[in-house]
A = this chain, B = another copy of it.
Amino acid sequence: MKSSLYFIILLSVIVLFSCNKELDTISDPLPSWNEGTAKQSIIDFVNNVTNEASPNFVKPEDRIATFDNDGTLWSEQPYYFQFQFAFDRVKEMAADHPEWNDNLLFKAALENDMETVMKSGMKGLMEIVMTTHAGMTTEEFGQIVKEWINKAKHPKTNKLYKEMVFQPMLELLDYLRANGFKTYIVSGGGIEFMRPWTEEIYGIPAEQVIGSSIKLKFEVRDGQPVLLKLPELDFFDDKEGKPVAINKFIGKRPIAAFGNSDGDLQMLKWTAAGDGKRLLLYVHHTDADREWAYDRKSHIGGLDKGLDEAEEKGWTVVDMKNDWKVIYPYELNK
């Protein structure tokens, strides 16, 4: 009798674990976060909206959380990593383009001379992006991105770009998903640039990645249908574009939104304007030693109006230097 009782208990434990594999993280779901108001605001929010007895309870299907990518899930200095991808593409394509030697813009890109490229403004940047991201099929482009993300290294850290994701944010993504949230990326970066690796790096599948896009053309080539990437902007997923894209791709208003710059402000405002409890969070880059320190005057990831709004509305502001025990996952192995 006693042994079968043990058996029942054992069975129940197995059932509990197989039905909720994340039980073991209940102890501390965010181990890389120091105790403080930022961490507490996240945990309070999640406890509140997942508690059926709470007036703020939200059904699982409406637990939508949207994350900016550059500067929110991975670093973005000294310039967006996708720009480096574009410059590396220019280098690979240069042999077929001898005319670039007489082109100031492409010559600068070839030499990683970001200052000259930046002087060309949005027009110059777009020209480089279009040249390097269009003129091939979506499958060909995806293959190029996959190869790049597995070998390209950041000049400062000498780590792969894909290793420069924020460990505390990975824990946050896991924590939200363990609590029934659907996590989305809503980034100004290219949708086709992110999708080949977001599942592996963030656990976010392609269909939950929203970003900027160029136009596509359906064509039949040698009897096979392909989607050809055209050198023409389709949608710029930044600022006012973020709520528009969220509405288009998801059709539901998020209850939590995470960003790091003024480009995310409209997404946070749109999220905040819904009924019920909301979590609005800004990652504030305050750690010049372990990462970078910048905000109001930065050309990349400027956070000015957003910082004022966050203070006025009482949104959560993460002080990277003081709120995060580690920045990158590889620090855990030290």
A residues near B, CB below 8 A? Answer: 1, 4-5, 7-8, 11-12, 15, 18-19, 61, 138, 182, 191-192, 195, 199, 205-207, 209, 213, 216-218, 220, 224-225, 227, 240-241, 243-244, 247-252, 266, 269-270, 273
- Within the complex, the shortest CB–CB distance from A200 to chain B, in Å, comes to 12
Report whether A251 and B209 are in contact in the complex, using a CB–CB cutoff of 8 Å.
Answer: yes
In the complex, the 6 A-B pairs of residues with the closest C-beta atoms, listed nearest first:
A206-B251, A218-B240, A4-B4, A195-B251, A207-B250, A216-B244
Identify which of B220, B249, B269 contacts A249 (C-beta below 8 A): B249
Given contacts A8-B8, A195-B251, contact A225 B243 (CB under 8 A): yes
Copies in the complex: 2
Q: Complex: how many Å from CA A206 to CA B252?
A: 7
- Is A273 a contact partner of B216 (Cβ separation < 8 A)? no
Q: Could you give 7 example pairs across A and B, Cβ below 8 Å?
A: A8-B8, A8-B11, A18-B19, A191-B248, A218-B266, A218-B270, A225-B269
Contact at B248–A216, with CB atoms within 8 Å?
yes
Determine whether the beta carbon of B218 is less than 8 Å from that of A138: no
Choose from B1, B7, B15, B227 the contact partner of A15 (Cβ within 8 Å): B15
